[in-house]
Every structure is written in structure tokens, then in C-alpha cells.
Amino acid sequence: MGKMTLQQKLGILSDAAKYDASCSSSGGAKRDSRDGAGLGSTTGSGICHAYAPDGRCISLLKILMTNQCIFDCAYCINRRSSNVRRARFTVDEVVHLTTEFYRRNYIEGLFLSSGIIRSSDYTMEQMVLIVEKLRADGFRGYVHLKTIPDASPELIERAGRCADRLSINIELPQDRSIAELAPEKDGADIRKAMAGVRLLKDSADEPTFRGRRDRFAPAGQSTQMIVGADDSTDADVLGQSTRLYGAYGLKRVYYSAFSPIPDASAVLPLKDPPLMREHRLYQADWLLRYYEFGLDEITSAAPDGNLDLDVDPKLAWALSNRDRFPVDVNRADREALLRVPGFGSKIVDRIVKARRQVTLGLEDIRRMGGRVKAALPFVTARDHHPSGSLDAVDLRARYVKPKQMELFA
Ligand code: SF4
């Protein structure tokens, strides 16, 4: 490994980072193939795209500091017993790469994670040193730093002082799965670390008597959960997310559909879950956070605990709560409008504003951007009074059939 060039290390350690879902290109397909820092041509420069807290899409250098690891998490390609090629960046190498990519406008920030070398504290300190050095050199880009749950509180505090976002992976939806598949990890320890980050952030956000706030992970904390590596249902997954959002003030839970890795452990399923499962979980998560849906409402439309893969969770809920419809677009409150399939929160805001002036018809709603065809059976409007369409036995099928999917898209 001593002879490995920086370019080779970048190839290995950006590839190893692709299993993390926190960037949109986690599958590697959207990798930016530009090369940087005079490194010659590489298999991919490890640039991924992620959403900044203000909603902007930004480019990040996404790498592991090392893919060596003393832990043996069954679902991870970098686990101790895996037979992959290993590499390790020094602190200065990561600082150099990040600075060069940033200077050339290839990236707007750094996403840094790592396998665990020697000990959690040793590894965490190396990662913190990287970010501290970058900041000392005047680097003002965005930094998302993976945090090792059992690293000392002092190191986590240093991490939050220099990084924008901290994330601590919950790994799996249930503690018993963590015990089984990640024997060196502990669900309670992971949550304790999240609580520590929350306390530090809350106290930093509290203005002092001079009105000054300390800087601690201004973009908050997030986590990642692997879906489909154990037998947890979507209700288990969303239940865990709801608890984590509530207890630790997380900004995001990322769902990562388990993908069978080369050289996989025998305790894992042989097949990966459909990617649609991951997609439906993100949609349900969105409803929980922004559409005032309760967990029980979403899971009530998922009788076996798993979301309907054929229709999105909002439509699934509407189909199993037909007595709540049709909703009158000219009178219904905001909460009821948010539950109409095809109406996003922006459309609902526009409807609420516009109906103060006029009585709205379907064309008005179409002009505002509402997906009228999807909403048709569920609303009434000035010129639309459906009768009996909610009772149609084939209502769900109309949304599922390929030609109808096109119609309702
Ligand atoms: S701690 Fe577990 S998940 Fe993280 S790199 Fe090591 S084996 Fe992989």
C-alpha cells in the first residue's frame, strides 16, 4: 500500500464511499468524471451531488479517509473480513485533494467518512484534524462529517465546531438487527451519541447575553438506515425514523436499499430489495415531515407493515380513506387539501391564496401546477362534481396500469 499513488487511493476510497446514501449519487451512476488536482485520469473523481440545507444542489468530494476497518458489520464491503483492496489517505492528502478540487471549482464541499482504524477515538481524531486543518487554511466550503458513535464527547464537540453537518448512522431499523449484523455496534450507544450532538447543538444555538451564537454543526445532524438487510417492515423503519426525528432533532434520515455486496456475509439476504421500496420510504418520510401525516395513518394503509409499491403512500392513504373525499378545493382547510393526491404543498398554498379572489375551477388548478388528473376523483371544484368515482372498484387499478400511470404521471 505504501507505493499506492494518490490517484489510486482516490479511486479506491471514492468508490468505497458510494455505499453511503447521503449524496444523490450513492449508486455511483451519476459520478462526475472530471478529474482534478493534476491527478491524471482516474476511474472517477469521487464528486457527488447533495442537497445543501438551503435546498441548493451542491457538488461534494465524497470519500472515505480509509476503507480499512477493525469492525465486521456484515452488510459492509469494508468490514474486517472482506477481501477488498485497502487504502488510506493521510490527513494532509485529504486536505490537499479537497483544497485543490475546491480551488478549481470542481466541488463546493467535502463529505468525509471512514472505516475504523486502531480505535474509534484515533479515527475520529484523524477526521477532525482534516477538517480543522482545512478551516485553518481558510477553506469555507461545506463539510459533512460522519461521526463515530463511541468516539469521545470531546472529539464530537471538536467535529461540530468545524463541520457543517454531522451524521451518525443508526445502521438498521431495530436494535436486535444491529446486534446481529453489526456486533461491535450498539443501538443505545448510537442514540446516546445523537443525543450528545443534539445537546451540544441546542446549547450552541442558544444566544448568549450578548446575542452571539456559537457555531456547532449549523446544518444539523442526519443519519442513514439500511433497508432490506434484515426482516424489518416499512412500519418498523418509519417508526424508528419518527422516534429519531422527534428525540434528536435530525434534519434527515437517509434510506439506503441494501445492495448485495461482493463477498457477502452468509447472514444476509441473497436478493436486494426493490429500489422502489427505498423510494416509497422517502415519499412516506416526506409526508411525515411536511404533510402533517401521522405514522399510524401511513402504516394503516400498509396492512402487512409494508408500503404499497404500486402507488405512492399518499395515494395509498387516500384510497383506503375514501370517506374523507371528495375535498372541496374552494372550502377545505389546508390540511385536507394537502392530502389530495396530486397536490403538493406549493399548490395548496396557491389554492388557498387564489380562492380568496375567485371560485376555482379545474383549469385554475391546472395552471397553478396541480396534477389534476391524479386529483380528479378526490376533489370538487366550481366545474367538477364527481359522483360515484370514489366508489369505483377499479380506482386503484386505474393508477397502477401502465397506460394509466402515464395518464396520472
Ligand atoms: S464500522 Fe462497520 S459499516 Fe463502518 S466501515 Fe467498518 S465494517 Fe463498515
Q: What is the mean pLDDT of each run of 10 residues along the chain (409 residues)?
A: 83 86 45 38 64 81 96 92 94 97 94 96 98 97 96 96 96 95 95 96 82 85 94 96 96 89 75 88 96 93 91 95 95 96 95 97 94 93 87 84 47
- Please tell me the number of Cα atoms within 13 Å of 232 on its side-chain side: 29
Pick from 72, 79, 259, 267 the residue to mutate for probing ligand 1's pocket: most ligand atoms within 8 Å of its CB: 79
Q: Give the distance (Å) from ligand 1 centre to CA of residue 37.
A: 29
- Please tell me the number of Cα atoms within 13 Å of 177 on its side-chain side: 20
Integer angstrom CA distances of residue 89 from 4, 39, 94, 317 = 10, 15, 6, 49
* Cell numbers standing for residue 225: 438506515
Cβ neighbours of residue 203 under 8 Å, at least 6 residues apart? 214, 216
Cβ neighbours of residue 101 under 8 Å, at least 6 residues apart? 36, 37, 45, 47, 61, 107
Alpha-carbon distance of 313 to 398, in angstroms, equals 16
pLDDT of 56 reads 82
Which ligand 1 atom lies nearest to the CA of residue 70? 6
Task: Determine the angle formed by the axes of helices 91-103 and 6-15, rounding to 10 degrees.
Answer: 90
- Please tell me the number of Cα atoms within 13 Å of 113 on its side-chain side: 26
pLDDT of 45 reads 66
Alpha-carbon distance of 107 to 49, in angstroms, equals 9
Provide the whole-model pTM.
0.87
Domain boundaries, the chain: 6-258, 274-409
Cβ neighbours of residue 317 under 8 Å, at least 6 residues apart? 293, 297, 298, 300, 301, 339
Which ligand 1 atom lies nearest to the CA of residue 77? 8
Alpha-carbon distance of 406 to 153, in angstroms, equals 52
Q: Give the distance (Å) from ligand 1 centre to CA of residue 9.
A: 18
Q: Give the distance (Å) from ligand 1 centre to CA of residue 148.
A: 10
Pick the CATH number of 6-258 from 3.40.50.880, 3.40.50.1820, 3.20.20.70, 1.10.10.10: 3.20.20.70
pLDDT of 394 reads 84
- Virtual CA dihedral for 213, 217, 221, 222, nearest 10 degrees? 150
Alpha-carbon distance of 249 to 262, in angstroms, equals 35
Write the residue with the smallest CA distance to atom 1 of ligand 1. Answer: 71
Q: Which residues approach ligand 1 with their CB closer than 6 A? A: 69, 71, 73, 76, 78-79, 115-116, 182
Q: Give the distance (Å) from ligand 1 centre to CA of residue 371.
A: 43
Write the residue with the smallest CA distance to atom 7 of ligand 1. Answer: 79
Alpha-carbon distance of 225 to 62, in angstroms, equals 18
Write the residue with the smallest CA distance to atom 4 of ligand 1. Answer: 115
Which ligand 1 atom lies nearest to the CA of residue 115? 5
* Cell numbers standing for residue 408: 396520472
Cβ neighbours of residue 241 under 8 Å, at least 6 residues apart? 225, 253, 285, 288
Which ligand 1 atom lies nearest to the CA of residue 79? 7
pLDDT of 23 reads 58
pLDDT of 210 reads 67
Pick from 13, 64, 67, 69 the residue to mutate for probing ligand 1's pocket: most ligand atoms within 8 Å of its CB: 69
